[in-house]
Structure 1
Amino acid sequence: MTQENKFISKTYFETFMLDMDTKHPVQVLGEAFLAEQTNEVYDLSFIRYAQGEVYFHNKDYESAIYKWENVHNELEPWAKKNIADAYYELGMLVEAEDIYSNIDTDNTTLRIEIALQLFTLYIQRGKLENAYKNIKRAIAINPDYPHVTQTARTFYEDQEDMRNALELAVGEALRTQSEAWYDYLLGYIEAGYATEFEPEYFQEALLALLDINQQKFESLASALWRNYEGHSQYLQWVKTANSIFTSLSRDSEASWIKVEDLHQRTYLSLIHGKYLIKEIQGIVPDLLGSWLKVSNRSKSLFASAAVMSWNEVFPTALPAHVLADAENRIFHYEHDSIQVSYTVELFKTLIDWAKDNHLEVAHQKKWLFSQLSNLNRKHLVVTGTAQNGKTSFINSLIGEKLLGDENAPVFVSSDGDTAEMNEISLKETTVLGDVGEHKKGSIIDLKWPSPFLEDEQYSLISTPEFEGPEVENNATMKYIPLSDGLLYILDAQTPFTEEELKVLVKIKEHAPEIPVHFVLNKMDTAFHEAEATQIVEEAKHRINEFFPDARVFPYSSLRSASKQHQSLASFMEANFKLRSKAVEERRTSKLLQLIRSTLTELLDSRIAMEDNLNGTVSFHEDILNRLNGFINHMHDTESEKIQSITENYRSVTVEMKHEALKAIPKLLQECSSYVKENSDFKTLHIELNDRMNETIRTYMHSDLLPRLRQELQLWLESSNRELKDSQEYLEGMSDTFNALYKEEKMHLVCDFKVMEDWRRDINRILSRVEVEKQNILNRSNTTQFLLKGAGRLFGSLQQSNQLLFTQYKKYIENERFTDIAEAVVEKFFLEFDLFEKALKADINLFYEAPFAELHKTVEETEQTIHFANKKLEQMKASPERYYDPLKLFEVRLLQYEFMVKACEDNAYIPTH
């Protein structure tokens, strides 16, 4: 044990114990202390230092401190450290901290020990920031100091400070080249802590590990790769990975199974449509080059085809040596066939992308893709020239006369006991009651129990027969390239005519890879077997002149089908080779054709979408102008109706008021006839007042009110006609706008309850109107006062009656009674006037619902214009967000087409 180790473990005192095993250290050191004092020049610091250690070990910390405080030689820094240790043991952490912090020494070991002690003390005091500083100080002084880095690692993990833990692991892995530290680093990365760092941070450590242990390098690189997947720094990681793998030798025979898989996954994720081309075009070429390096030569078809397809779309992006390597691998090595799952995944990606971009891949195309991706089902197009018996042939195979002269393709298959007919349109699948009910452009999916189709897993595609020279527009031409073969039906009486030859030549030009064979139908027309044999041989001879590989099967739809089915199945199996490996490759090729046509449609859809958006904006701006004009016109109409209806009503009440104001005074004047010479003038004013009120009441109820009722009824009818005219106008405008919208968008209905309310209110007013009694002759004007006074004073004198009679009569006949008439009219027409004031609000209510619907339509139209313009702005501002994904889908499609081509061309090339 070195001297410093003794200082650390506080066992320096053992140096005084040589050959003194029988004595206690206290005794030995005491004797040494006395002996040292006898020297002329003595130094007791060493002994005191050792005594302090003994006291410390025996937990006499105060004595230990006393001894160490009196150490004044080169051991003084260690003594101070020990004093701090003693205070720490006594629980006096503040004092210990002060002493530790004030020790000044150049001794590396002591400095580390102090830092470690402070580290422990600060953890105990909860001063973690200081703990961090001291553990990092210890590592900075000497990272090789025993256990210091492991202590730091444990501390960081306990604090769940994985950033510092990971930084420590990277630093120590690089410094020590220790695989153990790389194992720690791998654990942190696998736990997901790497994404806190820039990917370049790990580059140096990875390159160093590559020289140490390739297997661990691959595990670490793979863990980092997975860590950054889906992260914002993913592209930066791929750049870093590219830089790392660029350093690999192209001739390396090392196995990189994990990394090869990650390159493939990364490549597919980059061209998935999420990224713009400008984001990845500087990354993918290097990725492809690295991918080829880590790919097994005999299993590198996927990577090689990816290189070729990228170069096809982005020429000059890849170095010549990478292209040469890819071509060499494609065309000089045997490969496994391309998996159908690749095409299925690509098609699904296309569908999802289209949906995210507010587009729709036709339902019919999705249905076709699902049919073709089922490798257990073989699809054969069955067609022929008109009258050759194609329909009867298929009906005989399913055992029912289900097909007729349909002008739509019918997919006939068997699925157990299922019996159903569905129409596959561009948008949906719907159930059909009869095969002939389909719409134009649809596909008919007919499932029917058929042992022949069930056993052989055939799907027969019945297409419209050929009539005349028109071939290109026949639906057959669309479905032949998607099928596994063509079964052409011939008539045994006129086999293989010139017309049929022309049709078949066109078919072969359109789909040269599709095998064509023939069914010679209506063989029941032959009189005997020799004639039948001759018909078949002659047909074969003529057909083979033009189609040497074609075969002919004689068939009769009228004879027992079951006896012919086995032979027909054997014929189809032998000649179409539907169970060979090549069928799967051809099927993949057909699926890729569907995907290519889908890509083309999506490209066209971008143009159509922009045109549609422009059309939407133009259409709705026109609609908006019309709507605003219509609303303005409606406001004018509403104002006109308010004015017209109100004025008509007012004209009735004004005329009635005018008549009453004119009639009442006259009637009151005529009441002078009730004044007689023999009247009792004492009470005449009371009696006459009553008679006058009765006269007014009689007039108002018996004369004025009936005429008012009649006039108001006429007003109601007139108003109703006006409002009905408005409703008819609104209905006409609704029809106009709905015709523009091409849907029942608008239905403007006014509230005719207003008319019901008016009738009810007017009837209620008319029924309860009353004429209040007026004080006509009991008022306080001078004339009346004198008449009433004279009547009371002179009414009993006979000679005065003549005078009073004359004065009363003269007064009544000459009085104007205007104020009485006005008072009667005002009170009588009070409710009618209030009714008039409510007319404007009522007419507003009548038009409220149409206005609300119009304003709602305006708001919707403005929103439609806004969203369409916003979408147009986005499309014009960044067209690459639409076109880039489609271009990348094109790259992937080309890749799979290269793979199919490679498998076809290299079918017989031995593996190098």
Structure 2
Amino acid sequence: MTLEKQLIRKTYYKTFLPEESEHPIRVLGEAFLEEQKKDLYDVSFIRFAQGEVYYHHKDFEAAIFKWENINGELEGWARKNVGDAYYESGLLDVAEGIYKSIETDAETLRAEVAFQLFSLYEEQQKFDSADEVIKKAVAENPAYPNLTEVARTFYEEQHDWSSALDLAIGESIRTESTKWFDVLIHYVSEGHIQAQTPTYFHDVLAVFHNISEDRFVELIVALWEHYKQTSSYIKWLEEINSLLIELDIQASAVWDRVSNFFDETYRGLIAGTYFIRQLEELVPPLLTNWLKVTQPVKALFASSAVWAWNELFPSTLAANTVTEAENTIFRSTTSIDGLSYSIDLFEAVIQWTKVVKVDVGYKLKWWANQMVDLNTHNVLVAGSVRSGKSTFINSLLQEPLLSGSPAPVVVMNDDHIEVSEITEDHVEVGTELSGLQTITSRAREVKNALIEVRLPNQFLKGQHYAFIDTPGLNSNAKERNDLGEFAPLSDGMLFVLDANTPFTSQERDRLLRLKEQVPELSIHFLLNKMDGIQDAEEAATLVDHTESAIQEYFPNAKVFPYSSKYAVDEQVNDLTEFLQSSYGFTTRNLEEERAMKLLQVVRNTLTYLLRKRVEVENELIDSISWNEDMVVRLNGFINSLSDVEEEKISIISGSYRSIKEEIKDEVQAHIPELLRGCSDLITEDSDFRNLHVELNAKMNERIQEYLQLDVMPKFRQLVQDWIEKSNEEFSSSQVYLDEMSETFNGIYEGKTLKLACDFKVLDDWSRDVHRMTSRVQIEEENIWLRFKPSQFMLKSAGKLFGAFSQNNQLLHNQYQRYVENEDYTDVTNSIVRKFFLQFDLFEKGLDVDIKIFFRGPFQVLQETVDQTEVEINQSKEQLDDMKANPELYQDPLKLFELKLRQYELMIRAQ
């Protein structure tokens, strides 16, 4: 046993014991006495050993006494042992002070002191101090036995995963031990790396690769699994790509999980949530590494991804990577479900269009459904005008169904009759064949319409055919390019020739152009109207010559002679055999072909969406311009209507005011005369003592009668006439509004402005006029009860002299003279004011009532302006977003195209 181990275990004393050991205390005591007998003696070693024996016998006081008197090379260990003795005695603070006072260059002693301090701090639950001590110890002497294990246990107990990770990574790099590799992998797998960035693992990953490929892969998998759920995912991809790109890796089964991660990651990156500018630096190294770690027999997806990326983003991948991918694709024997890939891609495009609120149109969806239906073979039937193409199909269907439709007609078997018009914008479905003629006629006006006819038919059902009848080719007219649209998606084409003029130069040139566009299209021919040739030998010669002429340009093409006038049953079996042998539906890999055709639908969809983007921008620009023009027009109309309103207020209110003033003038002129005429009420027999009271009452009665019987009827009639004229004014305004509504509705093309005025205003006026003119109710006027000097004198004289009859004549004359000569202006004004009070109030409300009449149109117009301005702002915001962030729309389409190209390569590689 080495001296250091003896010092650690406190067994140094055993070096003084003979082989046949006696009691240590006696042996050491005798040694102590013998040493003292020397001239130059040193008893430190014996004292140190005695202290150990006392320590083991729990005599800590004696041990401390011995150890405190040690000099020389064992002094540091003695100080440490003194601390241990105090520790065991429970005097932890004293022990701590002693441990911390020890200064030594001996690594072992420092490590042992650190162990003791660490244990002491743990016991005191001073975990920060314990952490500081153990970290310092590991940093100074990580190779010291059990030190890193103790540190690891402590960190795990404290859930200090950051320190545990530092320790595991440091020890993995220092020791290159698989034990520490496994510890680190465990920490990562358990998710104890929340605070660590991907670059934190760079150095240890490099060490893992050099020592253990298996564990290197395990660590990559664990880190990948963790970071893909965090915001540091992209940083991780950058880190792992940077690391792997420099390493020499031989693909094997060990790397399969990493390859799967690359696969999953690549799919996620190109799913449309990232912009291309984010992918341009990230994806090339990812693809390079993916191909590097993937076994060739499993590398079809990775290789096709590399090649597709290189096609769309040239020069971003190394040439040797592209070459390797190309070789892998051409050597691939992997079988894939291409149709499923195609379906998934199409559905992904459709889902994306819903997010951006752009409809791909019903026709494209219809084509996709046709591609997925592997039980139905789509045969494109074409031919020149008057070739008898439609008649041929009718003869097979035994139904006079087709008659030169200007739009393609697809006929297929179904249990029920259904006729559908399919366009980009709508699908209109009928359940009667009689509706086909109507739809066909309308198709002349509908752009890119398609007519689908489903009906029970034994021929179509038995052969699983769907015939696509395209409009006859006519070189003299501008024809729709239906062949160019339908040929790439059909399973084969049957071109109908007229036996009287078979395979003309125009037909040849048209078909050659089509073959250039769709080289994989299988084209065969039906020589129709053979009933016109009676001689069998001549007919056979015609067929041979026609076939020879065709095969000069289409070597694999076959020709079938046919007559729609012959019994179908006699020809149908031969025709069926001809179609089956020509197109080989039973021998071809129809699923693979359909997968490619569905991808063509996807490509058409992407083209449509790109075109739609431009159309949407142009539509927004046009919408903004149109709406801005409408706002100007509407505001101009509002201003014009305001002028009309002011004009009507002026006319109607002025007319009423004129009537009122006319009556008022008449009343003001008549009442004084009426009051003067009341002198006839005064006679010499009158009771002059109360005459002023009687006159006041009689005058008020005459005023009431005059107003009720004379003024009111006339006023009522004039106001009723005024209401009639107001109605005419209002009606003319409504006519004007109706005309303007019609004008604007014509401009809006569907939006309806209803500018209805509120004619109930007239009913309210009629009711108010009836109420005001039905009965006069004004307070009696104080005519004779006023305090005027002349009246006062006259009334006083009446009271004084009225009791004497001889004074009656005098009083009579005075009263008459007063009544006939009195100025009744104040009285008249008071009566007029009272009488016309309600009519004045009515007049004051006319402006408001007329505005109420026009309120509805103003409200509708203003709401329309406000709504239009909202639409303008929304369109401007949408247009600005589209122009400011074109990548929001264009990048997903580019990524869809990338997947499309990849899937095409994969399917063709089978």
TM-score bin (small chain): 0.7 to 0.9
Alpha-carbon distance, 1:646 to partner: 3.0
Q: Distance in 1 between matches of 2:563 and 2:576?
A: 15
What is the alpha-carbon distance in structure 2 between the residues aligned to residue 665 and residue 288 of structure 1? 113
Whichever residue aligns with residue 263 of structure 1, its letter is F
Q: 1:583 to 1:766 in 2, by over 3 A?
A: same
The one-character-per-residue Cα deviations of 1:420-442 (angstroms, maximum 9, x if unpaired) are: 33332202333224333434222
Are 1:602 and 2:600 an aligned pair? no
Give the Cα separation in 2 of the matches to 1:10 and 1:639. Answer: 117
Q: 1:766 aligns with which of 773, 776, 791?
A: 773
**Following superposition of structure 1 onto structure 2, how do residues 245-284 of structure 1 map, counting pairs within 5 Å?**
245-249=244-248, 256-284=255-283
Q: Which deviations, in whole Å up to 9, do the C-alpha atoms of 1:10-50 show, x marking residues without a partner?
A: 99999999999999xxxx98998999899977987866676
- For residue 581 of structure 2, the aligned residue among 574, 579, 583 is 574
Q: What CA deviation, in whole Å up to 9, does each residue of 1:294-324 have, x standing for no partner?
A: 3333554444444444333443333333343
Q: Normalized against structure 2, the TM-score is what?
A: 0.84
Determine whether 1:733 maps to 2:733.
Answer: no
Q: Deviations over 1:672-704 (max 9, x none)?
A: 111112211122112111110101100111111
> How far does residue 173 in structure 1 lie from its aligned partner after superposition?
3.2
Determine whether 1:753 maps to 2:755.
no
Tell me whether 667-676 or 850-859 shows the greater mean CA deviation: 850-859
2:332 and 2:909 in contact (8 A); partners too: no
Mapping for residues 85-234 of structure 1, pairs under 5 Å: 87=90, 104=102, 106=104, 107-114=109-116, 116-117=118-119, 120-121=122-123, 124=125, 133=132, 136-137=135-136, 139-144=138-143, 149=148, 162-190=161-189, 196-229=195-228, 231-234=230-233
- Match of 1:75, SS? helix
Cα distance, 1:540–1:832 mapped onto 2, change above 3 Å: same
CA distance in 2, matches of 1:379, 1:131: 80
* C-alpha contact (below 8 Å) 1:422/1:429 kept by paired residues: yes
Q: Which amino acid aligns with 2:841?
A: L
1:536 touches 1:554 (CA, 8 Å); kept in 2? Answer: yes
Aligned in 2, Cα 1:8/1:682: closer, same or farther, shift over 3 Å?
farther
Take 1:748 and 1:761, find their aligned partners in 2: how far apart are those partners? Answer: 26
Deviation at 1:486, TM superposition (A): 0.6
Contact map agreement 1:81 1:100 (CA 8 A) in 2: no
* Residue 444 of structure 1: how far off its partner (Å): 2.5
CA contact (8 A) 2:217 2:254 kept: no
Q: CA, structure 1 residues 660+882, in 2 after alignment: closer, same or farther (shift >3 Å)?
A: same
Task: Sort the Cα spacing of 1:174 and 1:31 in 2 relative to 1 into closer, same or farther, 3 A.
Answer: closer
Q: 1 CA distance for matches of 2:424 and 2:194? A: 46
TM-score, with normalisation over the residues of structure 1? 0.84
| Deviations, residues 58-91 of structure 1 (Å, cap 9, x unaligned) | xxxxx96997699635434344355456549xxx
Partners of 1:738 and 1:746 within 8 A in 2: yes
**Post-superposition offset of 1:411:** 2.8
Instruction: Report percent identity of matched pairs.
Output: 40
Deviations 1:629-671 (A, max 9, x none): 3333344444444444333333333333332222222211111
Moved more, 565-574 or 602-611: 565-574
Contact 1:105/1:111 (CA < 8 Å) preserved in 2?
A: no
Structure 2 counterpart of 1:844, one-letter code: K
Q: Is the 8 A contact 2:682 2:815 kept in 1?
A: yes
The CA deviation at 1:6 is: 8.6
Aligned to 2:74: none
Which residue of structure 1 lines up, in the alignment, with residue 437 of structure 2?
A: 436
Q: Find the aligned partners of 1:534 and 1:154 in 2 and give their Cα distance.
A: 98
Identify which range, 676-685 or 646-655, moves more after superposition.
646-655
2:818 corresponds to: 811
1:843 aligns with 2:850: yes
Question: How much does 1:464 deviate?
Answer: 2.1
Aligned partner of 1:420 in structure 2 is 418
Are 1:241 and 2:248 an aligned pair?
Answer: no
Pick closer, same or farther for the CA change 1:557–1:177 going to 2, 3 Å. Answer: farther
- The Cα shift of 1:514 comes to 1.0
For 1:170 and 1:160, locate their aligned partners in 2 and report how far apart those are by CA, in whole Å. 17
Question: Contact (CA 8 Å) 1:471, 1:506: kept in 2 or not?
Answer: no
The reply on whether 1:675 has 2:682 as its aligned counterpart is yes
User: Which blocks of at least 5 consecutive residues in structure 1 are unaligned?
Assistant: 56-62, 904-912
Q: Given residue 83 of structure 2, which amino acid in structure 1 is its aligned partner?
A: K
SS at match of 1:383: strand
Q: Is the 8 A contact 2:84 2:95 kept in 1?
A: no
Matched, 1:367 2:366: yes
What is the distance in 2 between the residues matched to 1:605 and 1:22?
Answer: 105
Residue pairs, 1:7-26, within 5 angstroms = none
In the other structure, the counterpart of 2:39 is: none
How far, CA to CA, are the matches of 2:376 and 2:155 in structure 1?
A: 61
Per the TM alignment, residue 460 of structure 1 is displaced from its structure 2 partner at its CA by 2.4
Moved more, 226-235 or 478-487: 226-235
Q: CA deviation at 1:271?
A: 3.9
- Alpha carbons 2:678, 2:699 under 8 Å: kept: yes
Q: Per the alignment, in what secondary structure is the counterpart of residue 413 of structure 1?
A: strand
Per the TM alignment, residue 707 of structure 1 is displaced from its structure 2 partner at its CA by 1.7
Between 784-793 and 316-325, the greater mean CA deviation after superposition: 316-325
C-alpha spacing 1:184/1:571, structure 2 compared with 1 (3 Å) = farther
Partner Cα distance (1:450, 1:21) in 2: 115
In structure 2, do the counterparts of structure 1 residues 174 and 627 end up closer, same or farther at CA, with 3 Å as the change threshold? farther
Give the match for residue 80 of structure 1: 83
For residue 422 of structure 2, what is the amino acid of its counterpart?
I
Match of 1:432, as an amino acid?
A: G
- Whether the 8 Å contact between 1:589 and 1:897 is mirrored in structure 2 is yes
Deviation at 1:364, TM superposition (A): 1.4
Further displaced range: 267-276 or 831-840: 267-276
Q: State the match for 1:724 in structure 2.
A: 731
Output the CA distance in 1 between the equivalents of 2:361 and 2:876: 26
1:550 aligned residue: 557
Partner of residue 690, structure 1: 697
Seen in structure 2, the aligned counterparts of structure 1 residues 227 and 442 have a Cα distance that, compared at 3 Å, is farther
Q: For 2:648 and 2:527, locate their aligned partners in 1 and report how far apart those are by CA, in whole Å.
A: 83
Letter in 1 for 2:412: S
8 Å contact kept, 2:487–2:518 = yes
Which stretch has the larger CA shift, 578-587 or 813-822? 578-587
Query: 1:309–1:894: 8 Å Cα contact kept in structure 2?
Result: yes
Alpha-carbon distance, 1:186 to partner? 3.8
Q: For the Cα contact (< 8 Å) 1:486–1:517, is it kept in 2?
A: yes
Aligned residue pairs total 883
CA–CA separation in structure 2 for the residues paired with 1:374 and 1:580: 17
Q: Which sits farther off after the overlay, 793-802 or 513-522?
A: 513-522
Aligned equivalents of 1:857, 1:442: Cα separation in 2: 35
RMSD between aligned alpha carbons?
4.2
Answering whether residue 866 of structure 2 is matched by residue 867 of structure 1, we say no
**3-state SS, counterpart of residue 716 of structure 2:** helix
Which has the larger displacement, 668-677 or 762-771? 762-771
Check whether the contact 1:37–1:44 (CA below 8 A) recurs between aligned residues: no
> Which residue is equivalent to 1:655?
662
Aligned partners of 1:173, 1:244: CA distance in 2, in Å? 18
1:514 and 2:527 correspond: no
Deviation at 1:804, TM superposition (A): 0.7
- Displacement of 1:560 in angstroms is 6.9
Q: Structure 2: how far apart are the matches of 1:100 and 1:632?
A: 100
CA shift for structure 1 position 802: 1.1
Letter in 1 for 2:406: N
Compared with structure 1, are the counterparts of its residues 11 and 655 closer, same or farther at alpha carbon in structure 2 (3 Å cutoff)? farther
Native 8 Å contact 1:69 1:83 kept in 2: no
Seen in structure 2, the aligned counterparts of structure 1 residues 199 and 502 have a Cα distance that, compared at 3 Å, is same
Q: Which 10-residue stretch deviates more, 594-603 or 156-165?
A: 156-165
Distance 1:763 1:38, change over 3 A: farther
How far residue 386 of structure 1 moved from its aligned partner, in angstroms, is: 4.0
Q: Deviations over 1:781-827 (max 9, x none)?
A: 22222222221221121221111111111111121222222222222
Deviation at 1:481, TM superposition (A): 1.9
